[in-house]
Chain A
Amino acid sequence: MRYIQRQSKHARTVHWFHTIACLSLFITGLFLYVPAFAGGLDVGVLQAGRLIHRIAAVIFIGVPLIGTLVNPKAVAHKFKEYFQAWTPEDKEFMKKFLPYMFAPKKVHMPKQDRYKSGQKVADLAAIVFSMLIAISGAFMWIGVSPTLNVEFSASLMRFMYFMHDGSMIALGVLLLAHIFVGAGIFQPYRGTLRLMFGDGKISEEEARFHWGFWAEDELKSGKNVTEE
């Protein structure tokens, strides 16, 4: 059977770090988001949670930045593809996406290039919300840091609290959908977990099903194709 190398080691490493950082941020953040969760915990545990939250935040912000510095061409190429004009298949994919999620046996999706149009929209939204979280989080951290001793106005800090939590909700919902699809919990996507948490390869059949145009190009070039 033929396999195509879809995700590089570099991309998978960044994804691993980001997965750990994201989960740590959500879990530790939840204790500050829902007072009822924090109510029964010792203050020391909560302070440890805040520390972990900040360490995870550094990873959350730093790893993609370092990843971009290490391989700027790949990142630039990815963004170039994200902003390419949509093809009729892209538009059809978006139109059918919701019906497909609730009736995968009846709705058939069109072929896609390397990135599905829905994937592009979700990824870009996730990047925007991540940036908003990072910016507001930085203000919230710097604003209370005795070391930096920078004083922001109370109204600015209140806006940052709102932006941080609002963006977290949006990113959290996107993340749930990402896990559902990306981890292959959704039956038509079974097997996609290997892309980020395995060796980054996808079988020819899976590739043709998910990203038909891209699979054909890859199989033609043979550059990233292996027989197993």
Chain B
Amino acid sequence: MAEMAIFYDASKCTACKGCQVACKQWKQLPSPLTADEFEFTKSYQSPLEVSPNTWIIMTFDEVDQEIGVEWNFMRRACFHCSDAACEQACPVGAISKKDNGAVVIDQEKCIGCQYCTNACPFDIPKWEEADNKTFKCWLCQDRLANARLPGCVTTCPTGALTFGERTEMVAAAKTALDDVKARGFDKAELYGVDELEGMHVLFLAHRGLEAHGLVRDPKVPDMIEFWQLLKPLGGVAFAAAVGGLGLSYLSGIGYKREEPDEPEEVEK
């Protein structure tokens, strides 16, 4: 199966949040029903962060300018990295990379240990107490299996979200980059083409990565890589110990104790 990808073009996005709603609707993810659940922050961004029940949000970076506000939007959800820290950290193999590039949590296997939530360089997977499970976008695997587009892509009214084979999406992203640069957005950059060995969500940040809140040069945290190294090293250490002790045992076969030293006279 070919690797697939979503391409998000921030220059076309109006932050209507249709994608947020479509995701919730398709997955039937509940919204809080209590009043004032979210803190008022004067921003249009709502909710402020992804959660076990909100797998995608539109982030709003609202910059005051001399005339009006400069709006920088970004789609915040799982990036479906090829070098996925969450997958490496999962101790029970509940997180896997699919042939189409999606990084998916198998809820039947998730034990809620939260290793993935601490491993992800983007802080995307979120743990839910009620189910003791961790949740994140799964690139609508059920829809893709039935030849349908991901929910968020289906609903995008401006064409800011498109979906297709990754190679085609990379080509489209490069064309779009040239286009926005020609329109005067000198700081425009692509994100996700090479980062973390290639993501399966690509971004065109027409005002530059930082303006859209993207982490430049993301990496699997060093400590996660060292930690993963311990697994084979531990195996080698235990095998060496067992081997060494086994050799020691063999060398002791037929051992007879030397005569003990003459006991010193014991006072009675």
Q: List residues of A whose CB falls within 8 A of some B CB.
A: 31-36, 38-39, 43, 46-47, 50, 101-105, 108, 111, 143-144, 146, 154-155, 157-159, 161-162, 165-166, 168-169, 172-173, 176-177, 180, 185-188, 204-205, 208-209, 212, 216, 219-220, 222
Contacts and interface: CB of A to CB of B under 8 A. Distances in A.
A187 B93 contact: no
Interface in B247-268: 247-249, 251-258, 260-261, 263-264, 266-268
B115 A208 contact: no
Main secondary structure of the interface of A (DSSP, over half): helix
B260 A104 contact: no
A144 B114 contact: yes
Contacts of A185: 245, 249
Nearest to B264: A216
Contacts of B248: 101-102, 180, 186
A38 B92 contact: yes
Contact of B263 (A33, A34, A176, A219): A219
B230 A165 contact: yes
A208 B245 contact: no
Contact of A34 (B221, B231, B267): B231
B128 to A, nearest CB: 10
Contacts of A38: 91-93
A212 B261 contact: yes
**5 interchain residue pairs of minimum CB distance:** A187-B252, A38-B92, A158-B223, A187-B255, A35-B93
Nearest to B226: A162
A176 B242 contact: yes
Given A177-B241, A220-B266, A46 B111 contact: yes
B92 A176 contact: no
Contacts of A158: 118-119, 221, 223-224, 227
A161 B242 contact: no
Most central of A32, A154, A168, A204 by chain B CB within 10 Å: A154
B230 A166 contact: yes
Contact of B251 (A104, A143, A161, A173): A104
Interface stretch (B35-43, B156-164, B232-240): B232-240
Contacts of B115: 161
Nearest to A102: B251
Contacts of A162: 223, 226-227, 230
A104 B227 contact: no
Contacts of B251: 101-105
Nearest to A218: B266
Contact of B91 (A35, A47, A186): A35
Contacts, number: 133
Given A155-B221, A158-B224, A209-B257, A32 B113 contact: yes
Interface in B75-92: 89-92
B252 A186 contact: yes
A1 to B, nearest CB: 13
B59 interface: no
A159 B223 CA distance: 6
B108 interface: yes
Contact of A173 (B90, B111, B117, B237): B237
Contact of B223 (A36, A101, A155): A155
A172 B266 contact: no
B110 interface: yes
B255 A219 contact: no
Nearest to B108: A43
A154 B238 contact: no
17 contacts: A31-B92, A33-B91, A39-B93, A43-B110, A43-B111, A46-B92, A104-B255, A158-B221, A165-B230, A166-B230, A173-B237, A176-B241, A180-B245, A188-B257, A204-B263, A208-B260, A222-B266
A186 B111 CA distance: 41
B210 to A, nearest CB: 21
Contact of A188 (B245, B252, B268): B252
Given A33-B234, A144-B127, 13 more contacts: A35-B92, A46-B111, A47-B111, A111-B261, A144-B113, A154-B221, A157-B118, A158-B221, A173-B238, A204-B263, A208-B260, A212-B261, A220-B267
A186 B255 CA distance: 10
A54 to B, nearest CB: 12
Contacts of A165: 227, 230-231, 234
Nearest to B266: A219
A57 to B, nearest CB: 15
B109 interface: yes
